[in-house]
Amino acid sequence: MIGENCEVLVVGAGPVGLVAGIDLAQRGIDAMVVDMRTSFDPLTVRCNHISSRSMEIFRRLGFADKVRSGGFSDDFPHDVSIRLTTTGQEMGRIKIPGRQARLDGEKGPDSWWPTVEPPHRMNQIFLEPILQKVAEGTKGLRLCFDREVVGLKQQNETVVASINSSDGTARQITCRFLIGCDGGASLTRKQIGARFEGDAVIQRVQSSFIRAPGLTERMLAEPCWAVLNINPRRSGTVYTIDNDDRFLVHNYLRPDEEFETLDRDRNLRIILGVDSDFEYELLRKEDWIGRRLVSDKMAEGRIFLAGDAAHIWVPMGGYGMNAGIADATGLTWLLDSRLKGWGGAAMLDAYAAERLAITRQVSHFAMETAEMMIRNRAAVPPEIEEMTPAGHAARGWYGEQTRELNTPQYCCVGLNYGYYYDKSPIIIYDGEPHPPYSMDQYTPSTVPGCRMAHVTMEDGRSLYDHFGDGYTLVRTKPDAGLGLMGAAGALDVPLAVVDLPPSDLYEHALYLVRPDHHVAWRSQQEPDDPAWVLETVTGRR
């Protein structure tokens, strides 16, 4: 039996686990990421979208540019096209700027967002190698494959993980805290007695990862990132993976259809709009069932869940992976505060109190979106493929309706920035209600619990670029906050200071902002008891 130690053990080296490990190590925490795979395999073509919030996180961690330079070519548009078939007539289009178009100032439904890091379209098979390379180059982070966790035990102030390798080697890793990022079948979730609750089946999708040379040349419409294919015979979505000849094709099953009896080739050809002479290669079957399942708890003692281990829902707009990354970075700074001694016990209570409520809300957004799309596909006008005035009219209104229905899921500003924490033990609320939270609407706010409203600073950098690793005191009065600064020094609470000019949005004199960009406290004046404020937001009370 080989014994090893670390401060935080992360189980699972997918995007969520890698980001957790990178963040911890950059904070100076002795972290280890283990994965049961014997080697890194980025073939899985799951997530196609990296959210703006994830890009902001990658920016803080120092590799957003590496991510944004990956994937498609500079001039490739990130549009979503609505067509009868992939090679058929276009009925509508959601115009989303690509990488170079954003730099050139092209406008789109997500180009007005208050951030310096807009979303990025890139498949997970390109993202994971970037994350792995960053992880391998991060000082203090150990990344270990061929390590399967087979048991967990909490004892005293540690967690002991039993690990097996394919060569028969057994290990025990003793850590202070453990994060389970081990997917939907999570052993970590089972070990803490948590269980999934929700809806086991929302939709079933026969998904095929294919190589199809010549498919792009057959398309009648301009290039695009995704094609929503809708006709009376078959509905599906096609995502281009490399703006060349690899595609991911989703075939949406009807309620009376089963995976076992569905002819994959026949239906794929209907979606693509090609006949039996067209040749393609099936690289991998990626069939999946859309669910809405949320763990009934996200933590037990020193063990925490993040990503698919804590929630599974219909994989739309990359919500699953991106929510998992938000889980991870919503936890890492809390663990950092405890390990460095400036955070109290309530810091760890905050993780489940904050993230579980948001997880449930997002799961409903994803389910409602999926159900809306199912209803829309069931309402395809029978004459939509006719080359008649009635067919032309049907394509016009149905294409516009589909564009309006789908824009919120692909350009979901509310989902990126609008969520807030309203029952956290480490946030001091002031009675002002939070702005409404929806998928596609966002009102910038400084209400405690909200993401601190973004602004681009005079130096051209993001407000968030000026934040510290701990709390940040944002002031609109340069001489304010001396009491808080003194109390932070006395309590050993890391506190950076940023000055902003007052405005209609930044009307308070003082804001305490957390490393995850959420407002913890604000006031028009100096607090009567600065120590009480800091002790509350650091979980010491």
How far is 151 from 145, CA to CA, in rounded Å?
Answer: 17
**Residue range 485-506: average pLDDT?**
95
What pLDDT sits at residue 80?
97
Query: In which band, very low, low, confident or very high, does the pLDDT at 400 lie, cut at 50, 70 and 90?
Result: very high
pLDDT in tens, 430-474: 999 999 988 889 999 999 999 999 999 989 899 999 999 999 999
**Above 90 in pLDDT, residue 372?**
no
pLDDT in tens, 332-344: 999 999 999 999 9
Phi, psi of 463 (to 5 degrees): -50, -40
pLDDT in tens, 299-324: 999 999 999 999 998 776 678 899 99
**Residue range 163-168: average pLDDT?**
94
Name every residue whose Cβ is closer than 8 Å to that of residue 103 and which is 6 or more positions away in sequence: none
What pLDDT sits at residue 42?
61
The proportion of the chain whose per-residue pLDDT surpasses 90, expressed as a percent, equals: 83
Name the average pLDDT for the chain: 94
Least confident of 326-335, 372-381, 462-471: 372-381
Name every residue whose Cβ is closer than 8 Å to that of residue 385 and which is 6 or more positions away in sequence: 84, 231, 232, 391
**Above 70 in pLDDT, residue 230?**
yes
Strand-strand pairing, 311-313 and 288-295: antiparallel
**Above 90 in pLDDT, residue 231?**
yes
What pLDDT sits at residue 243?
86
Q: What share of the chain is helix, strand, coil (3-state, %, to 5)?
A: 30, 25, 45
pLDDT in tens, 408-434: 989 999 989 999 999 999 999 999 999
What pLDDT sits at residue 362?
83
What pLDDT sits at residue 1?
76
Name every residue whose Cβ is closer than 8 Å to that of residue 284 and which is 6 or more positions away in sequence: 43, 45, 208, 209
**Above 80 in pLDDT, residue 40?**
no
- The dihedral built from the CA positions of residue 339, 341, 342 and 345, taken in this order, carries a sign that is positive
- The total of other beta-carbon atoms located within 10 Å of residue 355's CB is 24
How far is 18 from 11, CA to CA, in rounded Å?
Answer: 10
**Residue range 204-209: average pLDDT?**
94
What pLDDT sits at residue 14?
94
What pLDDT sits at residue 43?
58
Q: Which helix (H) or strand (E) holds 150?
A: strand 148-155
Least confident of 36-45, 87-96, 301-310, 318-327: 36-45
Strands (E), 219-368: 226-230, 235-240, 246-252, 281-285, 288-295, 299-300, 303-305, 311-313
**Above 90 in pLDDT, residue 376?**
no
What pLDDT sits at residue 255?
86
pLDDT in tens, 243-298: 889 999 999 998 889 888 899 999 999 999 999 999 999 999 989 888 889 999 99
Q: What is the largest CA-CA distance in the chain?
A: 78
